[in-house]
Amino acid sequence: MGEETTTATIQESDVSDETLSNLLHEERHFDPPAELAKNANVTADAYAEADRDRLAFWGKQAERISWAQPFDEVLDWSNPPFAKWFVGGRLNAAYNCVDRHVEAGNGDRVAYHWVGEPEGDTRDITYADLKDQVSQAANALTELGVQTGDRVAIYMPMIPETVVAMLACARIGAPHTVVFGGFSSTALSDRIQDCDARVVITADGGYRRGAASALKPAVDEALQKCPDVRNVLVVKRTGQDVEWTEGRDLWWDDVVGRQSVEHAPEAFDAEHPLYVMYTSGTTGKPKGILHTTGGYLVGTSYTHWSVFDLKDDDVFWTAADIGWVTGHSYIVYGPLANGATSVMYEGTPDTPHKGRWWDIVEQYKVTLLYCAPTAIRTFMKWGSEIPAKADLSSLRILGSVGEPINPEAYMWYRETIGGGRCPVVDTWWQTETGQLMISPLPGVTSGKPGSAMKALPGISAVVVDDDGKPVEPGSGGYLTLTEPWPAMLRTIWGDDERYRDTYWSRFKGLYFAGDGAKLDEDGDIWLLGRVDDVMNVSGHRLSTTEIESALVSHPKVAEAAVVGAKDADTGQAVCAFVILREAAGDGGDDIVKELRDHVANEIGKIARPRQIMVVPELPKTRSGKIMRRLLRDVAENREVGDVTTLADSTVMDLISDNLKSGSADED
Ligand code: WT7
């Protein structure tokens, strides 16, 4: 890592300094409500039980799942880092999520209270409905020639058909890759190509911010670069005009609607691929994280049941998009495997007004709410009087995910949304972990504002120093996982070497998550953010390199450096420094806007830089590595730190002079 070591990043990051000082002064803690503790699904014994025999513990949790053929062995870890869980077991994920609940007499139970963004546009989907629709869609995919093992790309708004499409794929053993609907056509074509999908499922559009927002044009554009895709199934959601490629494009209603509602689910091996989810890494190429079937269902269903203390009459709402792992694990697979009733909401929180979420909580009597700190901070900014208008008394437990939750946001969430009576569970996990890993248990843990607390039963997390040695309480280091877990990623799609290098090479025998963490005096874990070149914007991972590549692909840009700077709303914000090509002159009046739009087009709006600074030079070490730490100082308006390792010591002066003369842009 040269001069810019990961340790330096931990010590110098402003986020961590603030968290550290907060935690030194953090004396508040909240015991579980007595009622909740008394009836909790999981008690403190679970930790001891799992410690005594971790594999027996997971073997027991696997009884939550219906196996067509029982497994012979809980874990095969003879060829690390390639794990096999529930060896020899066979099962069907869709059967576990749908059919078995109908067979158990719960067909009338609502699986989703679906809420469209336009007011009054709602649908309740029961488990029996879901079984019919998933069976029809599975028959349709088979008719289109999709076979076990083939990949299917899904690019959809937040509508019930998205879940149906995923489960139909799972039912026939065709791994799906869901691409977030906010991603651009380039991001979509990259992913389709990487996993070689031949069928794409999409919609004409969806509703966002009060208007129909098109999806199909991005698919049409992406497919110009994906000649192997033979069919596009299009759900009609908005009714807007779409371009149509005869022979390739098919309306979902035409093809799925006429299928039989009978479909016999085939049992697949526990390690059969369930899905690939792309996530940003430290290089420009997104990583296809592979999740398989048996372990993933065990891990997601157990954690959903234990961390949210799921009861029969709960109404669970993960307010996230299905296009991210949170949606896969806690809108789709975990809750459905548990036969739970969920809310699924299509739109934005401020449409048609800023109290939309709270109306939904009141209307459906939501008991368990799961969302990201960035949303909580936005609601704080909008003001407590907005949620105060709704009846939120149904809520029992509040969850947080995606980034460290600052103690202020935790307290606001707890008091304003939870009325002071609901435990807040700050859940740490990743696309790669598939399931919640570090979190309070609501009936056991005395929670501290800002801490994810302890590894869940059956999970082993250790904070280590540079040499991989566990740190003492009161010190910081790197978060690692020391034992395999059921829903862990199995590899990076098509790239075992990158899997090994990225996660298992920094510390021998340990999974390195890429996060810094600190243990407090009680041994509780406080997450300190990423230590690599990955940013976390609104709870979503973006790689600096990916955005740099997008900038450099613009004809006016010679070089680019991107850093994540602290941002009050989004956690981190994308800040870019660019050197223009000589031929581009000063780039013209609108250069900053042009480049920001370019990034949005290349990757998606979520990656649009908050700020782009045109600079004459970038700070580099003698070996040519960009010193991002100095750029972060500039982006966060701090005194610029140690410049002694710069190849050219005057470059930071050049940059600040240039910025003073006014080429910075903020909006
Ligand atoms: C990264 C994973 C897991 C679903 C959402 C994001 C950060 C996640 C927390 C938390 C502090 C958190 C980490 C992690 N993160 N949850 N509770 N406290 N940081 O999934 O895109 O795979 O990102 O998000 O930095 O490594 P993801």
Contact 200, 155 (CB under 8 A): yes
Whether the bond between 442 and the residue before it is cis, its omega within 30 degrees of 0, is: no
Q: Ligand 1: which of 23, 300, 371, 401 to mutate, most ligand atoms within 8 Å of CB?
A: 401
Domain boundary (219, 251, 274) is at: 274
**Beta strands in 361-408, from DSSP E residues, in sequence order:** 368-371, 397-401
The answer to whether position 82 is within a domain reads no
* Least-confidence region, from 11-20, 126-135, 154-163: 11-20
The residue contributing the CA closest to ligand 1 atom 6 is 402
The residue from 230, 249, 274 where one domain ends is 274
Task: With 0.85 as the threshold, say if the pTM is over it.
Answer: yes
Structure tokens that stand for 455 in this block = 């590894």
Total domains in the fold of the chain: 2
Integer CA distances (angstroms), 141 to 150, 254, 264, in order? 11, 13, 14
Gap from CA of 103 to ligand 1 centroid (Å): 36
Cβ(369)–Cβ(399) under 8 Å? yes
What ranges make up the beta strands (E) of 23-120? Answer: 73-79, 82-87, 90-91, 110-115
The residue among 302, 281, 300, 282 whose CA lies nearest residue 291 is 300
pLDDT number for residue 124: 98
At 628 the pLDDT is 85
**Measured in whole angstroms, how far is the alpha carbon of residue 193 from the centre of its chain?**
22
Q: Give the atom of ligand 1 at the shortest distance from the alpha carbon of 372.
A: 5
Tokens of 174: 């065709």
In a domain, 141, yes or no: yes
Task: Decide: 242 and 210 in contact? Cβ < 8 Å.
Answer: no
Residue 245 lies in a domain: yes
Atom 18 of ligand 1, residue of closest alpha carbon = 404
Ligand 1 atom 3 nearest Cα: 430
> What's the DSSP call for residue 547?
H
Residue located nearest, by CA, to atom 17 of ligand 1: 428
Nearest CA to ligand 1 atom 23: 430
**Residue 555: other Cβ atoms inside 10 A:** 9
Cis peptide before 352 (omega within 30 of 0): yes
Quick: pLDDT tens for 297-352. Answer: 999 999 999 999 999 999 999 999 999 999 999 999 999 999 999 999 999 999 99
Query: Of all protein residues, whose CA lies closest to atom 13 belonging to ligand 1?
Result: 403
Higher-pLDDT residue of 225 and 548 is 225
Q: For a pocket test of ligand 1, which of 322, 528, 536, 540 has the largest count of ligand atoms closer than 8 A to its C-beta?
A: 536
Structure token pair of residue 181: 């609907």
Q: Could you give the percent of the chain with pLDDT greater than 70? A: 95
Q: Which two tokens stand for residue 27?
A: 């004396």
Mean pLDDT of 171-176: 98
pLDDT at 6 over 50: no
User: Which atom of ligand 1 is closest in space to residue 529's alpha carbon?
Assistant: 25
Q: Would you state the pLDDT for residue 56?
A: 98
Tokens 């010193």 — which residue?
A: 627
Question: Closest Cα to atom 8, ligand 1: which residue?
Answer: 402
* Alpha carbon of 429 to ligand 1 centroid (Å): 5
Q: Which residue has the tokens 């109404």?
A: 315
Mutating to test ligand 1, I would choose from 13, 325, 527, 606 the residue with most ligand atoms within 8 A of its C-beta, which is: 527
21 falls in which pLDDT band (50, 70, 90)? low
Residue 649: pLDDT band (50, 70, 90) is confident
pLDDT band at 22 (very low <50, low <70, confident <90, very high): low
Rounded average pLDDT over 646-654? 83
pLDDT score of 667 more than 80? no
DSSP track, 544-577: HHHHHHHHHTSTTEEEEEEEEEEETTTEEEEEEE
Q: How far is the CA of 572 from the centre of ligand 1 (A)?
A: 13
**pLDDT exceeds 50 at position 3:** no
Q: Please compute the mean of the pLDDT values over residues 620-638 and round it to a whole number.
A: 85
Residue 579: CATH number of its domain:
3.30.300.30
- pLDDT (tens digit, 9 = 90+) per residue, 585-613? 888 889 999 999 999 999 999 999 999 99
Ligand 1 centroid – CA 535 distance (Å): 11
287 occurs within a structural domain:
no
Measure 430 CA to ligand 1 centroid, in angstroms. 5
What does the DSSP 8-state code read for residue 257? H
**pLDDT of 320:** 96
Domain extent at residue 259: 126-274
The SS3 assignment for 102 reads helix
Taking residues 53-60, report their average pLDDT: 98
pLDDT of residue 587: 86
Which of 429, 481, 528, 572, when mutated, tests ligand 1's pocket best, judged by the most ligand atoms within 8 Å of its CB? 429
User: Is 350 a member of any domain?
Assistant: no
d(CA 104, CA 337): 13
* 57-69 mean pLDDT: 98
Atom of ligand 1 nearest to the CA of 438: 17
CATH number at 262 reads 3.40.50.980
Q: 118 by DSSP, 3-state: which?
A: coil
Record the tokens describing residue 120, joined without a space.
Answer: 């009054």
Give the mean pLDDT of 648-659.
81
> Up-side HSE of residue 398: CA atoms within 13 Å toward CB?
28
Residue 564: what are its φ and ψ, rounded to 5°? Answer: -95, 120
* Residue 351 or residue 543, greater confidence: 351
Q: What number does the ligand 1 atom closest to the CA of 326 have?
A: 4
Report how far ligand 1's centroid is from the alpha carbon of 181 (Å).
20
8 A C-beta contact, residue 476 and residue 15? no
- 564 contacts 574 by C-beta, under 8 angstroms: yes
Domain boundary, last residue among 221, 241, 274: 274
Helix (H, G, I), strand (E, B) or coil at 367: coil
Ligand 1 atom at shortest distance from the alpha carbon of 428: 17
Helix (H, G, I), strand (E, B) or coil at 88: coil
pLDDT at 662: 47
- Is the distance from CB of 404 to CB of 427 less than 8 angstroms? no
Dihedral angle computed from the Cα positions of residues 195, 199, 200 and 203, in that order, rounded to the nearest 10 degrees: -170
Predicted confidence at residue 620, as pLDDT, reads: 84
- 114 lies in a domain? no
Distance 527 CA to ligand 1 centre (A): 9
Mean pLDDT of the chain: 92
Give dist(CA 340, CA 496) in Å, integer. 35
Query: Nearest 5°: phi and psi at 499?
Result: -60, -50
CA 447–ligand 1 middle distance (angstroms): 19
Query: What mean pLDDT is predicted for residues 553-564?
Result: 91
Residue 205 CA, ligand 1 centroid: distance in Å = 29
* Residue among 372, 270, 282 nearest 319 (CA): 372
pLDDT at 1 over 50: no
Smallest CA separation from ligand 1 atom 1, residue: 430
Cite the DSSP H helix spans in 43-111: 45-52, 54-61, 93-94, 100-101
Neighbours of 123 (CB within 10 A): 13
Q: Is the pLDDT of residue 207 over 60?
A: yes
In a domain, 254, yes or no: yes
pLDDT at 24: 55
Q: Hey, whose CA ends up nearest to atom 2 of ligand 1?
A: 430
Cβ < 6 A, ligand 1 pocket:
279, 325-326, 401-404, 426-431, 452, 513-515, 527, 530, 536, 539-541
Spatial distance between the Cα atoms of 201 and 178, rounded to a whole number of angstroms: 9
Distance 402 CA to ligand 1 centre (A): 4
Q: Are the C-beta atoms of residues 74 and 55 closer than 8 Å to each other?
A: yes
Rg (CA), the chain: 24
Q: How many angstroms is it from 257 CA to the middle of ligand 1?
A: 39
Residue 269, domain member (yes or no): yes
Judge whether residue 11 has pLDDT over 80. Answer: no
Tokens of 330: 């806690």
Judging by DSSP bridges, how do beta strands 110-115 and 341-345 pair with one another?
A: parallel
pLDDT for the residue numbered 656: 80
DSSP-assigned letter for residue 232? E
CA 534 to ligand 1: nearest atom:
25
